[in-house]
Amino acid sequence: GAGGAAMAEGEGLVSVDYEVSGKVQGVFFRKYTQGEAKRLGLVGWVQNTSHGTVQGQVQGPTARVRELQEWLRKIGSPQSRISRAEFSNEKKITALEHNDFQILK
């Protein structure tokens, strides 16, 4: 198949925690993050923090997770202004630990 070799590199599942700083609350950042994650077929969660950032966890195929990381770093929701996106606790997982991508209150 045409996609065989390309897929090999992105094989396996990863879990990554993230925190995004900037103007990211009150700009539908969580809703857009959820939409983008679902579009990519990822699971996890996103929530606002008490100190004005948005944080969460994302799990899925490595290549797809990388796409969401880029999105969190550079794009976000239309009204947002991202100053920094930090990723931590990246680890390989054998199975997804979430059923879908949720917005937590």
- Judge contact between 58 and 18, C-beta under 8 A: yes
- What residues are annotated to the active site? 30, 48
Q: Which residues contact 75 (CB under 8 A, 6 or more apart)?
A: 82
Q: Which residues pair with 45 in a beta bridge?
A: 57, 102
d(CA 67, CA 86): 14
